[in-house]
Chain A
């Protein structure tokens, strides 16, 4: 089965803190790994990662993939209350996307 495991399940931080979210996956039929942000609506796309060691960055968010150890991390620096959401990672096998259960991030003012 194509498992995607995210940790921690939930996280509460104060504004300004830096957080690191983890995603591990099984190697079978791996094509790419994607990160999404989900507020009280459908997931919105953040990053797609295909190559190891190449950081993708968008503002205060960044992500990197390690294809040897089969994991990815999503970093958020200088967190803001608007970052409060569920962060999902998904493994793309070319035919399907397998999602983890998500990390629920709460940023307290």
Chain B
């Protein structure tokens, strides 16, 4: 068990609905990342936080996506007005801030938009 947890593990929603996912990182990790992974592809970077600050967002992240990490601990990723193309596995990972470091991934949230 890597220590990163995500909730829910699976979500089925109808097109046009909003969804929110939660990620709880390893407690001493300052950095938190969100990725999207579709079948046959590697994880695709969406955004990352250092503590509560959102430092970088992928240009793939449309304005329907928003992420927060209000107190520098857990993070949420919200997708508004979901589309079928949003169906994917959403992975969260955390890492230490300083030096060369590796990421540890959570189990992911699998989103299916019908």
Interface residues of A (CB under 8 A from B): 4, 31-32, 34, 36, 41-45, 48, 50, 88, 90, 92, 95-102
Q: How far is the CA of A36 from the CA of B104 in the complex (A)?
A: 10
Structural contact, B42 and A88, CB atoms closer than 8 A: yes
Structural contact, B107 and A42, CB atoms closer than 8 A: yes
Q: Is B74 an interface residue (CB 8 A)?
A: no
**One of B12-20, B43-51, B63-71 contacting the partner:** B43-51
How many A-B pairs with Cβ below 8 Å?
52
- Per a CB cutoff under 8 Å, which of A36, A50, A95 touches B55? A95
Structural contact, A97 and B107, CB atoms closer than 8 A: no
Q: How far is the CA of A58 from the CA of B39 in the complex (A)?
A: 28
Q: How far is the CA of A4 from the CA of B44 in the complex (A)?
A: 12
Mask, B63-95, CB within 8 Å of A = 1, is 000000000000000000000000000010000
- By size class, the interface of chain B is 20 to 34
Q: How far is the CA of A12 from the CA of B16 in the complex (A)?
A: 41
Give 11 CB contacts A-B under 8 Å.
A32-B100, A34-B102, A34-B103, A43-B91, A43-B105, A44-B105, A45-B102, A48-B100, A90-B43, A95-B48, A97-B43
B residues less than 8 Å from A88 (CB atoms): 42-43
Q: How far is the CA of A34 from the CA of B113 in the complex (A)?
A: 32
Structural contact, B42 and A101, CB atoms closer than 8 A: yes
B residues less than 8 Å from A95 (CB atoms): 48, 55-56
B residues less than 8 Å from A48 (CB atoms): 100-102
Answer whether A97 and B103 are a contact pair too, CB < 8 Å, given A41-B108, A42-B91.
yes
B90, chain A: closest CB distance, angstroms: 11
